[in-house]
């Protein structure tokens, strides 16, 4: 009879595409409790780290919104084993004189951390929380060359079928909403 305590605990890292996540949740009025989200994604596995890729907002555009966002980032940083990776916010003036903002470097940082985690053998499974199929080439490399499992956690509105297909499995976050939504009474 085999001893079940000899079984190696599966090591997990989570990589959250902050812009993609925001447009799938908060922008639509859904507030997610990130500790509950992490707990649901981890399950019985061992969390090594979770990363959230985002750019700080432009304080000159809306100071109130900027400080609210900073408070949100501070809350994320307070979660054990949770790291916020700050990227660049690019401000572009449009033809009509208004501005649009683009987060730059988030996909590259996420891909780099995903790859280096595999190279350094820091995880057995990676979960990419995004619907962006730009991650497909790095997922293929992680799976084929480093023999790592990759899961895709996604929301219906921001999901890429091709991204889900490139992964070992997928987690439909809309089905977990009742478990991960922030309790409004806490505020």
**Domains of the chain by start residue, with CATH:** 9-104+124-132+144-186 (3.40.50.1010)
**Confidence at residue 186, expressed as pLDDT on a 0 to 100 scale:** 45
Cβ atoms within 10 Å of 78's Cβ, excluding its own: 10
Decide: 97 and 110 in contact? Cβ < 8 Å.
Answer: no
What are the pLDDT tens digits along the chain (187 aa)? Answer: 555 555 789 999 999 999 989 888 876 778 899 999 999 999 999 999 999 999 999 999 999 999 999 999 999 999 999 999 999 999 999 999 998 999 999 999 999 999 999 999 999 999 999 999 999 999 999 999 999 999 999 998 778 899 999 999 999 999 998 899 887 544 4
> In angstroms, rounded to a whole number, what is the distance separating the alpha carbons of residues 182 and 187?
9
**Confidence at residue 187, expressed as pLDDT on a 0 to 100 scale:** 42
* Alpha helix positions (H), the chain: 18-24, 34-42, 63-77, 106-119, 136-146, 161-166, 177-180
- Residue 176 tokens, joined: 């977990």
Decide: 107 and 134 in contact? Cβ < 8 Å.
Answer: yes
For the chain, the distance separating the N- and C-terminal CA atoms, rounded to the nearest angstrom, is 52
**Confidence at residue 156, expressed as pLDDT on a 0 to 100 scale:** 84
**Confidence at residue 6, expressed as pLDDT on a 0 to 100 scale:** 59
**Confidence at residue 159, expressed as pLDDT on a 0 to 100 scale:** 82
SS3 content of the chain, % helix, strand, coil (to 5): 45, 25, 30
> In angstroms, rounded to a whole number, what is the distance separating the alpha carbons of residues 164 and 152?
6
Cβ atoms within 10 Å of 130's Cβ, excluding its own: 28
Structure pTM?
0.91
Q: What are phi and psi of 133, to 5 degrees?
A: -75, 0
């Amino acid at each position: 009879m085999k001893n079940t305590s000899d079984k190696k605990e599966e090591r997990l890292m989570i990589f959250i595409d902050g812009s993609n996540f925001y447009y799938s949740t908060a922008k639509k009025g859904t507030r997610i409790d990130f500790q509950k989200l992490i707990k649901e994604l981890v399950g019985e596995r061992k969390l090594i780290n979770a990363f959230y890729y985002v750019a700080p907002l432009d304080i000159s555009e809306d100071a109130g919104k900027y400080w609210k966002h900073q408070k949100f980032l501070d809350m994320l940083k307070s979660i054990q084993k949770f790291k916020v990776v700050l990227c660049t916010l690019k401000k572009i003036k449009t033809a009509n004189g208004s501005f649009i903002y683009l987060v730059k470097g988030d996909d590259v940082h996420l891909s780099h951390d995903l790859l280096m985690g595999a190279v350094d053998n820091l995880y057995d499974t990676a979960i990419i929380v995004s619907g962006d199929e730009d991650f497909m080439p790095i997922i293929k490399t992680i799976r084929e060359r480093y023999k790592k499992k990759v899961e895709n956690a996604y929301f219906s509105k921001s999901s890429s079928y091709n991204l889900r297909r490139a992964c070992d499995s997928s987690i439909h976050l809309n089905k977990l909403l009742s478990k991960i939504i922030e309790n409004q009474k806490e505020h």
